[in-house]
Amino acid sequence: MAEALPFDHAADGIYIGGYQAIRFADALRAMSIRTVLKLYAGLPHFPADFNTLDHPTTDNELIPAAALQRGVDFISEQVRAVQPLLVMCSTGSSRSATFILAYQLAQGRDLHESFHTLRRAHPATELHPAMWLSLITHYKLAYTLAQVQGWGL
């Protein structure tokens, strides 16, 4: 039996996963996914034929607005170019989900609906409180931390 791929399609040609995805570089190539937003520091790295933006962030700190925007801009550029991409952090549950949700907010989508859609596509989605606060703060959302954390229950 073939091993399940450690990433899922989130939306708009955007895939989400953790560092294990590096073991599936051939599968990513076969799916025309050669662009990666890598949100953890250090190893493992993708092969040279992948267009990788190394953009390390940490789960337990607010993401500065400029850093969040840089990741959203990278995702937006790939989507506009109809270039599938993988957004990945260590486990594929918090930082990667935050950047995908930020992209969706920048597209005018609703956070509540976007979160539930992402959670259905990628059940491992579980944002750290600092990631929720990064979204609420940067996008000036009317949600409280308690409200958004309640969505995951």
The domains found in the chain, sorted by start residue, are: 7-150 (3.90.190.10)
Q: For the chain, percent helix, then strand, then coil, each to nearest 5?
A: 45, 15, 40
Alpha helical stretches, state H, the chain? 25-30, 65-80, 95-106, 111-121, 129-138, 145-150
Tens-digit pLDDT profile for residues 74-122: 999 999 999 999 999 999 999 999 999 999 999 999 999 999 999 999 9
Neighbouring C-beta atoms of residue 86, cutoff 10 Å = 27
Rounded Cα distance between 136 and 31, Å, is 33
- pTM of the predicted model, to two decimals? 0.96
